[in-house]
């Protein structure tokens, strides 16, 4: 550089083209800005539970509904964009389709924002029938806006999944090969064709389960819309609960499986080792594919009228669901890092920390998925603790890791980023600890005003949220700064 003659740098290109990089950038930026805001909403809810601020009850529950629905949609958006980027070359995916999915997510999120903040809709992100319709504190149109919003997000995700599945079939000539099963059963292979790499396997699994999950989502949403139009349209509460949780469980769970795809794609670049498909890996993904669909039953353990067969299916497959990630993906990731001389940067630190969140959140989930424990943990803050561990302390960290990698990590990690990581991870740990202890102490979830010792623990949590957000600010600014640099000097980007 120094020996070259000084030239005036060409002006940065301002026009916006629909390239893989630009579409993924816009998905990530939108998602991070809104997650940041909804994280602040989470902090306000904790402050209310600590009796530091005093929101009207209906406001609290509108914010809770907004936070839950929005966060699930936004983490899905960020991770979907990450995995899309990891496989778009191999599968020849079109940025335009991702853009359509993104537009539907945006439409859905705007509808949810309007429904909750303007309309005051507050039936929770699970909108469990018949709550959205009975003695509501909000006008009927807010229910309609919310249901249409969730429908739009579901449609966006469904298009994303169908696009991936179509591309997998085009590239590998079948979904079984997309799942890498020719590594297990050589007879399945096609001569001269390589086995699908791990990120493609993850994408195929997410595509299949996502298509099934969003279909279930469409069924319940259309039933609710029919009931909205004609209140005489009959809905059975137990049926509605089964379908709602089948849908909700799949979508929330898939966030982490989307993330697994990005781990396969990017952890090896830090560790300097390859992660290849083999029979065990392929088999483990078939396991996950099945267990994600059947494990939802653990949401209905406390419905004693639910057929026992479904209860036992729920419990056994909830246990088994831990096996593929624990034995193949998380174990494999740790093995990949073991004495690899890994390069620590924002991306690799967060991938590694996210694996811890996944493992710990999974452990907490397994305890709660045990029927005798669920008897005293169901609908306590323990539940909220476990899913925040793997969504906030797992999937969301994977999303930032991806963004950091995507932004380019050529220069050494900055001191600000380092400080930000400590604050972020420390804040998350304290924040989660408060939920766990509250849960064991019997504090129910979704209480604007909590019984003791909820308020004291909420106070600690509120402080932890401040630390967490401070760290998040530093980390995101660091990523953003690097992203701008690599846009000005694209040749430097990773």
Partner 1 sequence: MVPLGARQDLVLVLFATMVTAIGAVFVWVALTARGRLEYQAVRPHGYFLRSWWFGVLLALCAFGFVVSLASLPYPAEANPTRAPALQVRVKGVQWAWLLSTDRVPAGRLIEFEVTATDVNHGFGIYSPHGVLLGQVQAMPGYVNHLFFRFPHPGVYLIRCMEYCGAEHPYMLMPLTVYQAS
Footprint of partner 1 on 135-154 (CB under 8 A):
135-137
Contacted by 392, from ligand HEM, partner 1, none: CB < 5 to 8 Å by type: ligand HEM
- Which residues are registered as beta bridge partners of 444? 380
| Residue 22, number of CB atoms within 10 A of its CB | 14
Residues 228-287, interacting with partner 1 (CB under 8 A):
236-238, 241, 273-274
Phi, psi at residue 380, to the nearest 5°? Answer: -95, 175
Q: CB of residue 390 vs ligand HEM: minimum separation in angstroms?
A: 9
> Which lies closer to ligand HEM via its Cβ, residue 248 or residue 332?
248
Q: CB of residue 156 vs partner 1: minimum separation in angstroms?
A: 27
Q: CB of residue 234 vs ligand HEM: minimum separation in angstroms?
A: 26
- Which residues are registered as beta bridge partners of 380? 444
Q: Which residues contact 434 (CB under 8 A, 6 or more apart)?
A: 457, 458, 460, 461, 464
When asked if residue 124 is in the footprint of partner 1 (CB under 8 A), the reply is: yes
Distances (CA, A) of 378 to 309, 317, 386, 402: 20, 18, 12, 33
When asked if residue 130 is in the footprint of partner 1 (CB under 8 A), the reply is: yes
Q: Check residue 408 and give left, alpha or beta (phi > 0: left; psi -120 to 50: alpha).
A: left
Longest dimension (CA), the chain: 80
Q: CB of residue 40 vs ligand HEM: minimum separation in angstroms?
A: 8
Tell me what percent of the chain is helix, strand and coil, each rounded to the nearest 5. 75, 0, 25
Q: CB of residue 232 vs partner 1: minimum separation in angstroms?
A: 16
Q: CB of residue 419 vs partner 1: minimum separation in angstroms?
A: 18
Burial environment of residue 226 by CB neighbours within 10 A (0 to 12, 13 to 18, 19 or more): middle
Stretch that binds partner 1, among 20-28, 120-128, 206-214, 402-410 (CB under 8 A): 120-128
Question: For residue 287, which of 316, 307, 259 has the smallest C-alpha distance?
Answer: 316
| Residue 160, number of CB atoms within 10 A of its CB | 31
> Which lies closer to ligand HEM via its Cβ, residue 77 or residue 97?
77
Contacted by 491, from ligand HEM, partner 1, none: CB < 5 to 8 Å by type: none
Q: Which residues contact 300 (CB under 8 A, 6 or more apart)?
A: 241, 242, 245, 306, 310, 311, 314
Query: What SS3 state is found at 380?
Result: strand
Binding positions for ligand HEM, rule: CB under 6 A: 39, 42-43, 45-46, 64-65, 67-68, 71-72, 75, 124-125, 384, 388, 391-392, 396, 445-447, 465, 468
Q: CB of residue 246 vs partner 1: minimum separation in angstroms?
A: 16
> Which lies closer to partner 1 via its Cβ, residue 180 or residue 325?
325
Q: How many helices (H) and strands (E) does the chain have?
A: 17, 0
> Which lies closer to partner 1 via its Cβ, residue 100 or residue 326?
326
> Which lies closer to ligand HEM via its Cβ, residue 123 or residue 164?
123
> Which lies closer to partner 1 via its Cβ, residue 22 or residue 363?
363
When asked if residue 128 is in the footprint of partner 1 (CB under 8 A), the reply is: yes
When asked if residue 311 is in the footprint of partner 1 (CB under 8 A), the reply is: yes
Q: CB of residue 61 vs partner 1: minimum separation in angstroms?
A: 6
Q: Are the beta carbons of 471 and 420 closer than 8 angstroms?
A: yes
Cα angle value 289/290/294 (rounded, 5°) = 125
> Which lies closer to ligand HEM via its Cβ, residue 125 or residue 285?
125
Residues 327-366, interacting with partner 1 (CB under 8 A):
327, 331-332, 334-342, 352, 355-356, 359-360, 363-364, 366
What secondary structure, in 3-state letters, does 409-472 show? CCCCCCHHHHHHHHHHHHHHHHHHHHHHHHHHCCCECCCCCCCCCHHHHHHHHHHHHHHHHHHH
Q: CB of residue 385 vs partner 1: minimum separation in angstroms?
A: 10
Q: Which of 148, 441, 473, 485 binds partner 1 (CB under 8 A)?
A: 441
Contacted by 45, from partner 1, ligand HEM, none: CB < 5 to 8 Å by type: ligand HEM
> Which lies closer to partner 1 via its Cβ, residue 207 or residue 248?
248
> Which lies closer to partner 1 via its Cβ, residue 215 or residue 447?
447
> Which lies closer to partner 1 via its Cβ, residue 130 or residue 174?
130
Residues 146-205, interacting with partner 1 (CB under 8 A):
none
Residue 393, Cα to own-chain centre: how many angstroms?
11
Q: Check residue 86 and give left, alpha or beta (phi > 0: left; psi -120 to 50: alpha).
A: alpha
Burial environment of residue 474 by CB neighbours within 10 A (0 to 12, 13 to 18, 19 or more): buried
Q: CB of residue 436 vs ligand HEM: minimum separation in angstroms?
A: 13
Q: CB of residue 14 vs partner 1: minimum separation in angstroms?
A: 42
Q: Which of 37, 326, 419, 493 binds partner 1 (CB under 8 A)?
A: 326
Q: CB of residue 449 vs ligand HEM: minimum separation in angstroms?
A: 11
Task: Report the b/e string of 55-73 with b at 16+ CB within 10 A.
Answer: eeeebbbbbbbbbbbbbbb
When asked if residue 412 is in the footprint of partner 1 (CB under 8 A), the reply is: no
Contacted by 465, from ligand HEM, partner 1, none: CB < 5 to 8 Å by type: ligand HEM
Residues 27-86, interacting with partner 1 (CB under 8 A):
57-58, 61
């Amino acid at each position: 550089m120094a020996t070259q003659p000084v030239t005036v740098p060409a002006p940065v290109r301002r026009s916006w083209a629909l390239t893989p990089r630009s579409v993924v950038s816009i998905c990530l930026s939108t998602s991070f800005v809104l997650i940041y805001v909804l994280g602040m909403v989470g902090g306000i809810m904790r402050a209310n539970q600590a009796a530091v601020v005093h929101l009207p009850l209906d406001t609290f529950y509108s914010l809770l509904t907004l936070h839950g629905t929005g966060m699930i949609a936004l983490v899905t958006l960020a991770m979907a964009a990450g995995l899309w980027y990891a496989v778009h070359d191999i599968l020849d995916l079109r940025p335009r389709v991702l853009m359509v999915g993104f537009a539907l997510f945006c439409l859905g999120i705007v509808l949810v924002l309007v429904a909750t903040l303007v309309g005051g809709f507050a039936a929770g992100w699970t909108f469990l029938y018949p709550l959205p319709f009975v003695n509501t504190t909000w006008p009927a149109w807010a229910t309609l806006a919310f249901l249409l919003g969730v429908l739009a997000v579901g449609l966006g995700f469904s298009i994303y999944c169908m696009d991936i599945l179509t591309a997998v079939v085009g590239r590998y000539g079948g979904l079984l090969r997309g799942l890498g099963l020719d590594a297990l059963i050589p007879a399945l292979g096609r001569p001269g064709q390589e086995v699908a790499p791990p990120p493609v396997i993850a994408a195929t699994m997410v595509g299949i389960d996502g298509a099934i999950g969003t279909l279930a989502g469409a069924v319940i949403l259309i039933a609710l819309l029919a009931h909205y139009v004609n209140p005489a349209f009959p809905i059975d509460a137990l049926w509605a609960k089964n379908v709602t949780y089948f849908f909700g469980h799949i979508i929330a769970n898939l966030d982490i499986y989307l993330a697994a795809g990005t781990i396969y794609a990017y952890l090896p670049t830090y560790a300097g080792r390859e992660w290849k498909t083999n029979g065990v890996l392929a088999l483990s993904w078939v396991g996950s594919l099945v267990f994600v669909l059947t494990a939802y039953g653990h949401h209905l353990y406390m419905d004693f009228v639910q057929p026992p067969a479904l209860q036992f299916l729920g419990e056994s497959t909830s246990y088994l669901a831990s096996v593929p990630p624990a034995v193949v993906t998380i174990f494999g990731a740790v093995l990949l890092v073991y004495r690899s001389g890994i390069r620590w940067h924002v991306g690799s630190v967060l991938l590694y920390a996210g694996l811890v969140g996944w493992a710990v959140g999974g452990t907490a989930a397994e305890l709660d998925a045990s029927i005798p424990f669920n008897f005293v943990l169901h609908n306590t803050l323990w539940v909220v603790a476990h899913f925040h561990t793997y969504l906030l302390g797992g999937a969301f960290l994977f999303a930032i890791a991806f963004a950091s990698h995507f932004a380019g990590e050529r220069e050494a990690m900055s001191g600000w980023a380092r400080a930000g990581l400590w604050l972020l991870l420390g804040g998350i740990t304290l924040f989660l600890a408060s939920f766990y202890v509250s849960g064991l102490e019997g504090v129910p979830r979704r209480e604007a005003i909590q019984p003791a010792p909820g308020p004291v623990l909420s106070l600690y949590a509120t402080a932890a949220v401040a630390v967490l957000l401070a760290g998040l600010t530093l980390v995101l600014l660091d990523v953003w700064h690097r992203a701008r640099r690599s846009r000005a000097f694209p040749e430097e980007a990773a």
